[in-house]
């Protein structure tokens, strides 16, 4: 924008309209500017996928969840590994899909680390957040499920469907089930069901 150019009507009023815009991200800033210009973009909803994928098979599952979620238009899908994900990622999302392996009857250390770093910052800010869970379990997955559900109960997140347990020996059907999970979550979010 040139100094003194055609956007003078935006002038100093930008900072006054919604408080300090310096504290918001680029996307929100430009949406605000477009709204002031009368070009309000459609608001997309963000679906966050936080999934531990330490193997080829678990990468296939995470990719299937993402593919399914991307099948719904109007949904911004963001995939973040648990060790890189944090509270800000969750606060920017309207729904979350969690994925983990079963490790010694519990969730992966990576997903546990995500919860350890995020739990307190999210505790009073994300109540009712729609969530889904898939577990790749070599055994039965019940300890893993119980561990994650206990944390989600504490956060007061809302599981919108029964956790998907991909248990026992590897089956190609797990990929299809995970893709359906991603698609269902995105469709529900887009339709405003949750």
Residue 110: inside a domain: yes
CA–CA distance, 107 with 146 (Å, rounded to integer): 9
CA–CA distance, 24 with 71 (Å, rounded to integer): 29
Residue 156: inside a domain: yes
Residue 78: inside a domain: yes
Indicate if 26 and 49 belong to the same structural domain: no
Query: Cα torsion at 22, 26, 28, 33 (round to 10°)?
Result: 80
Q: How big is the CA angle at 103 (ends 101 and 107), to the nearest 5 degrees?
A: 65
Residue 6: inside a domain: no
Angstrom CA distances, 27 to 46, 125, 177, stand at 13, 21, 33
Indicate if 51 and 143 belong to the same structural domain: yes
Q: Residue 81 belongs to what domain range?
A: 45-191
Indicate if 133 and 53 belong to the same structural domain: yes
Indicate if 115 and 173 belong to the same structural domain: yes
Here the CATH number for the domain that contains residue 112 is 3.40.50.360
- Reading phi first (left if > 0) and then psi (alpha if -120 to 50, else beta), residue 85 is in beta
pTM for the predicted model, two decimal places: 0.79
One digit per residue, the tens of pLDDT, for the chain of length 194 reads 333 444 333 333 444 444 444 445 555 555 554 555 544 345 689 999 999 999 999 999 999 999 999 999 999 999 999 999 999 999 999 999 999 999 999 999 999 999 999 999 999 999 999 999 999 999 999 999 999 999 999 999 999 999 999 999 999 999 999 999 999 999 999 999 98
- Give me the number of domains the chain comprises: 2
């Amino acid at each position: 924008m040139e100094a003194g150019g055609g956007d003078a009507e935006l002038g100093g009023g930008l900072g006054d309209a919604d408080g300090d815009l310096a504290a918001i991200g680029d996307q929100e800033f430009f949406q605000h500017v477009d709204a002031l210009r009368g070009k309000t973009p459609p608001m997309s909803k963000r679906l966050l996928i936080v999934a531990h994928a330490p193997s080829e098979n678990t990468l296939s599952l995470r990719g299937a969840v993402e593919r399914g979620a991307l099948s719904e238009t109007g949904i911004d899908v963001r995939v973040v590994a648990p060790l890189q994900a944090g509270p800000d990622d969750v606060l920017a999302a309207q729904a979350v899909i969690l994925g983990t392996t079963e490790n010694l009857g519990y969730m992966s250390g990576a997903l546990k680390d995500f919860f350890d770093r995020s739990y307190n910052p999210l505790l009073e800010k994300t109540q009712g957040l729609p969530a889904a869970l898939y577990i790749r379990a070599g055994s039965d997955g019940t300890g893993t499920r119980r561990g994650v559900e206990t944390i989600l109960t504490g956060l007061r997140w809302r599981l919108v469907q029964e956790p998907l347990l991909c248990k026992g020996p590897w089956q190609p059907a797990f990929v299809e089930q995970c893709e359906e999970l991603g698609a269902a979550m995105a469709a529900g979010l887009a339709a405003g069901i949750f």
